[in-house]
Structure 1
Amino acid sequence: MNPAPLPSGTTRRRVELRLRKPWFAWGARPTVTVDGVGNPAQWGTGTWALPDGRAVEFGVYGINRGWRFGAASVRVEAAAAGAGAVLEYRAGLLPFGRGTLVVAPR
């Protein structure tokens, strides 16, 4: 029998995510993926809980009425997330192509 999962907010692995809104984002919203599972987000700064004990693939892309742009991803190691990593996302300069997602200095 597996133990019940911990309630939300009890994880010690959180990362800060800074989503910079591009100039062309009229009505576009960001989507954050953790190991391929998409979650709606908002532009600005927020924190995300990550699964304990393993590295995860963290990704971000913008979407506007089915039009997807600025996809970027980075692998976040367990040690970095435990130390309170800060991730910073920027879409490309134009409304097509890739964006950048980097682990920023704290």
Structure 2
Amino acid sequence: MDAVLPSGMTRRRVELRIVKPAFAWFARPTVTIDGVGHPAQWGTGTWAVPDEGTTALGVYLFNRAWRFGAASVTVTASDDVLEYRGGLLPVGPGRLRSV
């Protein structure tokens, strides 16, 4: 029998690898889960997603002047490791794919 978790807790986590582009122009990544933004860091981290169903997960980069490199994907139960790569230059979309 599974124990009941407190409100807001989840057992399902997705590993996200955020690769810094060569020309980041002082950009910082932000991860969005179902439209809610969360500040992130470069490198590998895990993110909690709802236990059931699909989840819209996205990443974009921003600096003090503009937002760029946006990419999103729908996470299903089979996705557990994702990798984000921003574009070579600070314009255009990034790539978010299952590894």
TM-score over 0.5 (shorter chain): yes
Query: What does residue 14 of structure 1 align with?
Result: 13
When residues 6 and 36 of structure 1 are mapped into structure 2, their CA distance, relative to the original with a 3 A threshold, is closer
Q: CA separation in 2, counterparts of 1:72 and 1:44?
A: 17
Residue 87 (structure 1) aligned with residue 82 (structure 2)? yes
Amino acid at match of 1:90: R
Question: Aligned residues: percent identity?
Answer: 65
CA RMSD of aligned residues (A): 1.6
Q: CA separation in 2, counterparts of 1:56 and 1:88?
A: 16
Q: CA separation in 2, counterparts of 1:16 and 1:52?
A: 15
**Runs of 4+ residues over 2 Å off in structure 1:** none
- SS of corresponding position for 1:18: strand
Structure 2: gaps spanning 5 or more residues? none
Aligned residues: 95
- 1:12 Cα deviation after fit: 1.8
Q: What TM-score do the two structures reach when normalised by structure 1?
A: 0.83
Structure 1: gaps spanning 5 or more residues? none
Structure with bigger helix share is: 1
